[in-house]
Structure 1
Amino acid sequence: MTKQDAITITGVSTIGEKKLVGFRVLASNIEEFQQDIPKASLELIRRKNEIHNLVEPVKLIGAFKAGETSEEDDGYWSCLEVTDFEQIPEGMVTLTVPEQQYAVLQFKGHASEIYGTYTHLHQWIQENGYTRTPSNWTLEIYSKWSADEDSVELCDPIA
């Protein structure tokens, strides 16, 4: 599969509020994030049975703000969606992402290639007359997550 075959722009979608439980990853550079996010995701999958009120236990959701952010919002959240926050497992955090309009790109491939894929999505946003809102939450919704290949919807917030 070529990189171009692995990328499909699916258009614009409004995604409702998401209540997330999982791990927050803090790092000082992209290389650290690329090492630490998979570790946090594997730990989340290992401990998912500790999380109450799961919506879809196989859909891992990553969340981050691409633009300047407060210390409180800094980092990358590797999470699972819940219907309600209840008995949060030790060491995990909660995050509520409000309803937002997104440009969505479907990606299949290795996680290390995701970062570069955003260029295609940002170009599509600009060409189609939308404006990115990097101060809002970006979502990465994984329908398949493994060490070898991911299937993920990259959801970049737009106005």
Structure 2
Amino acid sequence: MRYETVTLPAYRAVGLKWAGRFSEIEPDLKNVIKQMENRARELEDKVNPDVQLGLSYHVIENGFVHYSVYEVSEEQEIPEGMIEIRVPEWTYVKTTHHKGEDISKTYTDLHNWLFNSNYTAYREADVEYYDPYMPIKHEHYPVDSDRNDPHFDIYIPIVKK
């Protein structure tokens, strides 16, 4: 696996929010992601229309909050039933999960990289996280990605140890 550190500027995203337990991912979260795919055309001011974002925050015991969104310009209105999230400028470790690979191995390898690096996962102040290793996970899915065997970029916010 290849890892790089990158700093992404702050951005605004609009889409759908899901919160639940790991046991509810099938089919609940997958339905929300599919709904966002189907409603993407409602977002006329997408910054990168070819990338759907999956932003996960592990703030629920045995679960997480997930935003299935697109980065949008300030001009974008929020369609009915959607939400807005603002992501601050952060430094991330970035890697790519490739089609045909085991997703759990990709994340295990990423965890090992973090453990052996000069970085640790970023945690927002005054927020309780239930994942001690990667409390915030951002995944960038090309819209042509196969949901049954996806390829996508993973971004984990980091700070120096």
C-alpha RMSD of matched pairs (Å): 2.3
Structure 1 or 2: more helix by fraction: 1
Quick check: 1:26 aligned with 2:26?
no
Q: After TM superposition, give the deviation of residue 134 of structure 1 in Å.
A: 4.0
What's 2:150 paired with? 150
Q: Which residue identity lines up with residue 92 of structure 1 in the other structure?
A: M
Q: Is the 8 A contact 1:19 1:85 kept in 2?
A: no
Q: Is the 8 A contact 1:21 1:80 kept in 2?
A: yes
Q: Is the 8 A contact 1:25 1:33 kept in 2?
A: no
1:40 to 1:84, Cα distance in 2 relative to 1, 3 A? same
Quick check: 1:86 aligned with 2:76?
yes
Q: After TM superposition, give the deviation of residue 89 of structure 1 in Å.
A: 1.1
1:154 to 1:84, Cα distance in 2 relative to 1, 3 A? same
> What is the CA–CA distance in structure 1 between the aligned matches of 2:106 and 2:23, rounded to whole Å?
16
Q: TM-score, normalised by structure 2?
A: 0.78
* Gap regions ≥5 residues in structure 1: 1-7
> What is the CA–CA distance in structure 2 between the aligned matches of 1:85 and 1:40, rounded to whole Å?
24
What's 2:127 paired with? none
> What is the CA–CA distance in structure 2 between the aligned matches of 1:92 and 1:110, rounded to whole Å?
32
* Gap regions ≥5 residues in structure 2: 125-134
How many aligned residue pairs are there? 145
What's 1:139 paired with? 138
Percentage of pairs with the same residue: 24
Runs of 4+ in 1 over 3 A off after TM superposition: 113-116, 134-137
> What is the CA–CA distance in structure 2 between the aligned matches of 1:43 and 1:22, rounded to whole Å?
10
Kindly provide the CA deviation profile for residues 109-154 of structure 1, in whole angstroms up to 9, marking residues without a partner as x: 379x535532211210121221112447431111243332211111
